[in-house]
Amino acid sequence: MTRYILGRLASLLFVLLAVSIITFSLMRAVPGGPFDEGKQRLPEAAKANILRKYGLDQPVWKQYLKYMWNALHFDFGIPYQVPTTTVTALIAQTWFVTAQVGLMTIGLSYSLGLAMGLIAAYYQNSWIDSLVTFVAMLGTTIPNFVVALWLLLLFSVRLKWLPMGGWGEEQNRFFFGLLSKDWIMPVVAYSLRPFSTVARYTRASVVDAIYADYVRTARAKGLGERAVLLRHVLKNALIPMVTVLGPDIPNLLTGSIFIEATFRIPGLGKYFWTSTFNRDYPMIMALALLIALLWSVTYLFTDVVYTWADPRIRFGEAEGA
């Protein structure tokens, strides 16, 4: 077990190193740089000064080594777009917004998906089963920006119930200022896909579990229907879902560029976007490393949780799979 985790950690470090090298060289692969003059030309000396200040006059490999050295000391530099703050502070600030969307999405979609999947499986082949299956099918296929625009057309343009976009505006608060109308459409649009995945997998694994021997035993010994469903069916049905739902969490927490663009949410996705196109090297590097780290850690975590939740799985055997 320890050996397995150590091996996985080594490969995680390797992946981070590779991602940093690829991102670093990609961003510098084309001529030009973040401080190219637009309309106004800078004097040569001033330009050289700026480049020296940000260390851009050095050879690329030296810049890379310097960046990595600083990164190892948790110094990720200063974003070129907002020089008054640090990359860490800017990411923390924007991620707060994205994580809000992500957490609400996870809360809404996982609980609703679990409930609807369970109901659909319990009333198998009824109209409610067909309805859940149908919505889940739509949700897994239709892109979120399409859903977002439909919501926008219906609830903002047509019915004028909800604001067109923005995030945390004062006038859109309701319920003692705890909730905001700004949150509704992005979270619903973003939730549809994870909801569908959860509902689909819950339904499938509950249908499998419902006919299992231990469920019959539980019924035979006189347990109530609720106890059978929650303690025996659902508990066992959830285990295989760990591998499906786990990897989706970093995805949801880092947000969707499309949702953030459609609803004008100042989150991580927006900054990934502006940083890429403004050649904000320190921001891009930090974002790429953050995303790669999140993904790799989640995959590792999922595998470990899976083994812990289902003692029948042993690591030696899992290797080949």
Partner 1 sequence: MMGTVDLVSAQDVHYRQRTLWGDAVRRFFRNRLAVLGLIIVLFFLFLAIFADLIAPYPYDKMHLDKTLRFPFTDPEFLLGTDEIGRDYLSRLIYGARTSMTVGLSVQAIAFIIGVPLGAIAGLRGGMADFAVMRLVDIMTAFPGLLLAIMLVAVWGGGMWKVIAILGFTSWVGITRITRAQLLSLREKEYVEAARCVGANGVRIVVRHLLPNALTPLLVALSFGIPGAIFGEAGLSFMGIGINDPVASWGKMVGISSAYVRVYWHLAFFPTVLIALTMLGFSFVGDGLRDALDPRLIE
Closest distance between partner 1 and the C-beta of residue 19, in Å? 6
Q: Which is nearer to partner 1, 17 or 42 (CB)?
A: 17
Structural contact between residues 152 and 262, judged by C-beta atoms closer than 8 angstroms: yes
- Please identify which residue in the block is written with the tokens 């999922």: 302
**DSSP letter, residue 298:** H
Q: Which is nearer to partner 1, 167 or 234 (CB)?
A: 167
Closest distance between partner 1 and the C-beta of residue 266, in Å? 16
The dihedrals phi and psi of 58, each to the nearest 5 degrees, come to -80, 160
* Binding status of residue 300 toward partner 1 by CB under 8 A: no
Structural contact between residues 195 and 149, judged by C-beta atoms closer than 8 angstroms: no
Closest distance between partner 1 and the C-beta of residue 106, in Å? 17
- Binders of partner 1: how many residues, by CB under 8 A? 44
Grouping H, G, I as helix, E, B as strand and the rest as coil, residue 1 is: coil
Q: Which is nearer to partner 1, 88 or 276 (CB)?
A: 276
Cα distance between residue 63 and residue 49, in whole Å: 16
Which residues, numbered 231-290, are part of the site for partner 1 (CB under 8 A)? Answer: 251, 257-258, 261-262, 272-273, 276-277, 284, 288
Q: Tokens standing for 277? A: 């196109």
CA angle 214–219–220, rounded 5-degree value: 90
Closest distance between partner 1 and the C-beta of residue 312, in Å? 21
Q: Which is nearer to partner 1, 93 or 278 (CB)?
A: 278
Closest distance between partner 1 and the C-beta of residue 304, in Å? 17
Displacement of CA 186 from its chain's centroid (Å): 14
Cα–Cα distances (Å) from 258 to 147, 172, 262, 268, 279, in that order, read 11, 22, 6, 11, 20
Structural contact between residues 113 and 198, judged by C-beta atoms closer than 8 angstroms: yes
**Residue 211, number of CB atoms within 10 A of its CB:** 9
Q: Which is nearer to partner 1, 36 or 111 (CB)?
A: 36
Q: Which is nearer to partner 1, 219 or 264 (CB)?
A: 264
Residues 110-149 as x/- pattern, contact with partner 1 by CB under 8 A: ---------------------------xx-xxxx-xx--x
Cα distance between residue 239 and residue 234, in whole Å: 9
Q: Which is nearer to partner 1, 30 or 72 (CB)?
A: 30
Structural contact between residues 203 and 130, judged by C-beta atoms closer than 8 angstroms: no
Give the number of residues written for the chain.
321
Q: What counts of helices (H) and strands (E) characterise the chain?
A: 15, 2
Residue of the chain from 50, 51, 164, 207 that contacts partner 1 (CB under 8 A): 164
Closest distance between partner 1 and the C-beta of residue 292, in Å? 4
Q: Which is nearer to partner 1, 50 or 257 (CB)?
A: 257
Which residues, numbered 7-36, are part of the site for partner 1 (CB under 8 A)? Answer: 11, 14-16, 18-19, 22-23, 26-27, 29-30
Residues at the contact surface with partner 1, assessed by CB under 8 A: 11, 14-16, 18-19, 22-23, 26-27, 29-30, 137-138, 140-143, 145-146, 149-150, 152-153, 157-158, 164, 251, 257-258, 261-262, 272-273, 276-277, 284, 288, 291-292, 295-296, 299, 320
